[in-house]
Amino acid sequence: MKPSTLLAMALALSLPAARAGIAYGSINNFDTVNDTGVECHGFEIELDDIHSTAITYTYSYNHYGVPRISEDNSDPLHPKVRVRYESAKNADGSWAAFTAVPAGPIAPTQGHQFTNPSVNFGGEHFGVGYTANPTAVRYHWLVADPGGSLVLGPAVLVSTPTFVYVPPAGGGVPQVQAAIVPPPVPKPPALEFGPPLWVKEIRTTSHNTNEVRLRDLVSDDPAFPGDKSWRNGEPDEVETEWQLMQTDYRKADGGKNGRLEAAAEELSHGDDVVTRRYEFYKYVGPVDGESGEALAESVAPDGIHGVGTVSAHGTSYDLAGLEVVGIYLGAQMSAFDADPSVGLIDHVQDGEVNVAYPARTVAIGGSRPFRLTIDGVLPKGMELDLVTGILSGTPSESGTFTFSIAADDGTIPSKKKTYTFNVAEAGADIPPHALVDTAVSPLEAGTTAGDGSYETGAGVTVTANAKPGYAFVKWTDNGAPASAASSYSFASGINRSLVAHFVAVPSLTLVASTPAHLTVSWPTNAVGYVLQRAATLDGNAWSNAGEAVRISGTLYEADIPVAGGGAFLRLGKP
């Protein structure tokens, strides 16, 4: 087993001393609502006590694109990594991207809109992965100050789960246990209890081995049946539970609501993928004015009111008649894979001449050592370690550099991805831009072109060319159809990762010939193809051949009479 941590805004947890196991994370994607009351121009995640080499996937298909990763080693014993999503500026000094203030409450199922560049309704998707748990995570929206710089806005009160993985022992099976804790407060608490939140945990009833990618973990939307789902292809039957999350600062373990821990689950097949969704809502019920403790601890079936009655300092509250659940704040979609396959990150961030680049792990998951190959040119001063998969260095030349990396760990077919690396002149800014990368499926079927960095609004054309024996079918973007044309044009807006899909074209083979007939064959796995004939190569002259077709092993065979002159034969799809 090769457990790995691939987390978005994850909150590290200390394990109880009596429990065996290791704290791991998951691959996460989250949506978060802009509740600051002002337009925001970015988002920052600060992770304590890890290095930039621990950062894996980053979600970069929002209005801000690829985040900038930096490492702070001012305290060598306690390094910090910052993952900063930040708007570029236009030539006139205005912000190129923003997150709007919501016009009203946002439904939890509207997550698909957060990544639509034509819609800006008050929230974004973000995501960060890492291979070592930080000791603390802090996250903030970025807002503009009067001088035109971005500063930290209020803390975002959304948590991310960690997973405790317990290896098999004594003939048993491995287990995984999900847990979340409240996010850390930015200042020392004034009261005994921290800010309360409602957490709605939604669990799948079973698990499967489908591959889960960061871009798959988005909100379900019943109005968009083809939308990506956090469920990982699981059935719709799920378990739902409301829980209060609040830290009691006078207790070392955070108190009964300071750590919300699910029951341990067995990974009976060894390669199961566990999926979770956590929705966060504002607590608007009564609070003990002296300690800050939330008095409501249960939510009625309507998802709005409380349950039962409580008393505090001589005042009684009928919670059944009080609304205790407030506005939706955001959600985390999580998946834990104890045995992840080798993968490649989506993008690399921009660099600057003579500025050290944060060491970044490009190849992740799988078993080390990797077998990496690189095709293309890196900027002078940069290097890729072909064993560890770490990209590092200090670029000494500016420009746009395109290179492809193929990776495998000796157990599965290679993964391959093309990267565009922009390096600015010292002190200069790169204009607002988006990245386009293309891939081929299956790898041996063809080639693509059009990868690169494009200024916002510029025209982009990507092309797909089939190799002999294959035919182009379509372009997809994150699994959704994008175009059926092998030459696909669009305007640059947000990052695009496009896949050109090809299918194998079966060949027609002459088996034998006599003066009376020809015997031809073709593979039985050529689903949907039929034998066709024509007297000429006129495009409208083809018709299905009427001769009987028999099966011989893995081949179809047919005898074609040659009486009456020659004929042209082909396999076609009616």
pLDDT of 24 reads: 35
CB atoms near residue 332 (< 10 Å): 29
The 10 Å Cβ neighbour count of residue 221 is: 18
Claim: this prediction has a pTM higher than 0.85: no
Q: What does the pLDDT look like over 523-572, one tens digit per residue?
A: 887 778 899 988 887 767 888 988 999 999 989 999 988 776 677 888 88
Average predicted confidence (pLDDT) for the chain: 85
pLDDT tens track for 2-33: 333 333 222 222 222 222 223 333 566 788 89
How many whole angstroms from its chain centre is CA 197? 26
CB proximity list for 392: less than 8 A, separation 6 or greater: 357, 359, 360, 382, 383, 385
Q: How far apart are CA 226 and CA 128, in angstroms?
A: 25
DSSP 8-state class, residue 184 = P
Taking every pair of Cα atoms in the chain, the longest distance, rounded to a whole number of angstroms, is 108
Q: Each residue of 447-463: pLDDT tens digit? A: 999 999 999 999 999 99
Burial bucket for residue 411 (CB in 10 Å: 0-12, 13-18, 19+): exposed
- What is the dihedral sign for C-alpha 18, 22, 28, 34? positive
Decide: 440 and 500 in contact? Cβ < 8 Å: yes
What amino acid occupies position 62?
N
Q: What is the DSSP letter of 331?
A: E
Cα gap 119→126, rounded to integer Å: 16
Sign, CA torsion 214/217/219/220: positive
Mean pLDDT in runs of 10 for the chain (574 residues)? 30 26 50 92 93 90 93 95 95 94 86 75 87 81 94 85 79 83 75 92 76 72 65 74 93 89 78 82 95 96 95 94 94 78 88 96 76 92 92 97 87 80 94 93 92 94 92 89 95 93 87 85 85 81 89 91 78 80
pLDDT value at position 359? 95
The domain limits of the chain are 22-284+324-337, 432-505, 509-572
Whole-number pLDDT of residue 288: 95
Could you write out the three-class secondary structure of 498-515?
EEEEEEECCCCEEEEECC
**Per residue in 120-168, pLDDT tens?**
989 998 888 887 778 778 889 999 999 999 999 988 877 877 777 888 8
Residues whose CB falls within 8 Å of the CB of residue 364, separated by 6 or more in sequence, listed in order: 4, 6, 56, 57, 129, 131, 340, 342, 343, 344, 345, 389
Phi-psi region of 564 (alpha: psi -120 to 50; beta: other; left: phi over 0): left
From 54, 7, 493, 539, select the one nearest 276 (Cα to Cα).
Answer: 7
State how far the Cα of 457 lies from the Cα of 434, in Å rounded to an integer: 9
Closest by CA position to 82, among listed 66, 65, 70 = 70
Question: 393 with 383: CB under 8 angstroms?
Answer: yes
